Amino acid sequence: MRRFRILVGLAMLAGLAACGDTPAEQALYGAGAGMLGSYVVDGNPFVGAAAGAAGNVVYCQQFPDKCG
């Protein structure tokens, strides 16, 4: 089960690379990935969503050429 959680967590992180066209879309995609990732590791889904949203927006704004 631990291996499954690790694989799903990595898949969620890869999902963060899917930026949106606007900061709102970027936050939405990041929040979704962060929330799902927090469920995988038995974390707080609200904290996961907030961290995912912020992380994805910052990443996409810093590296727009790497976001697809």
User: For the residues of 30-46, what is the DSSP string, one character each?
Assistant: HHHHHHHHHHHTT--HH
20, pLDDT greater than 70: yes
Q: What percent of the chain has pLDDT over 70?
A: 74
Q: pTM of the predicted model, to two decimals?
A: 0.71
Break the chain into its structural domains and give their ranges.
Answer: 2-62
Return d(Cα 68, Cα 45) in angstroms, integer.
25
11, pLDDT greater than 60: yes
23-51 residue pLDDT tens: 999 899 888 888 888 888 888 989 988 99
Which of the two residues, 14 and 33, has the higher pLDDT score? 33
